[in-house]
Amino acid sequence: MTERTIDAVVFDIGGVLLDWSPDYLYADLIPDAEQRSRFLSEVATPAWNAEQDAGRTWSEAVGELVGRHPEHAEWIEAYDTGWLKMVKGVFEDTAELLNDIRALGLPTYALTNFSQEKWEVAQEAFPILTVFDGEVVSGAEQTVKPGEKIYRILLERYDLDPARTFYTDDMQYNVDGARAVGIEAELFTGAADLRAHLRSRGLAV
């Protein structure tokens, strides 16, 4: 058996544990694919949504965007009121792996770019999000990945040795951000690959 080289496992959430996409909501609201793509790339953009991950309230975000695009008010408001419909569900194979890690007695943490308001909604809807030993949510901290500050918050808050902490994320730039502060990190490409990465570091999962 390989000697265990990590003492804690940290998970990103969207794309790793939750299957989230605005298309799941807007496929019904805007059936025309071209029109839907235009709305999500030019009006309710990823950059606009990222401001909520950084701490902006949803009421402020919706009000600001409706002010600029009143003709799309209903669709814009749905991004807030219908947010939960953007989550198809939990990736069950990742959830199973998370529980396997916990069964070994290793602490697990969430490190996620997520609106604090929607994090609370998601935790209520998906109890797996409440099992972590700790969490760092960008909306609460008002700082986002891949900036160094949010990784430092994780390490300092939970007294983690970066060299013995493992992190996975579905975005390479967030993996790179973790590595920049000394955290062991791998790109998430599926639960099976993640399990292999953890086994190579001595976890019997």
Each residue's pLDDT tens digit, 103-140: 999 999 999 999 999 999 999 999 999 999 999 999 99
Range of the domain at 163: 8-17+91-200
Verify that 196 and 111 share a domain, yes or no: yes
Instruction: Say if residues 111 and 150 touch (Cβ distance below 8 Å).
Output: yes
The C-alpha torsion from 139 through 141 and 145 to 151, rounded to 10°, is -150
Task: Note whether 141 and 158 are same-domain residues.
Answer: yes
Q: Is the pLDDT of residue 2 over 90?
A: no
Q: d(Cα 151, Cα 135) in Å, to the nearest integer?
A: 11
Closest to 62 (Cα-Cα) out of 72, 141, 54: 72
Same domain, 178 and 164: yes
Q: Decide if 91 contacts 19 (C-beta within 8 A).
A: yes
Check whether residue 96 and residue 45 sit in a common domain: no
- Count Cα atoms within 13 angstroms, Cβ side, for 16: 26
- pTM (two decimals): 0.95
Give how many domains the chain has, as a whole number.
Answer: 2
Residues 151 and 181: beta-carbon distance below 8 Å: yes
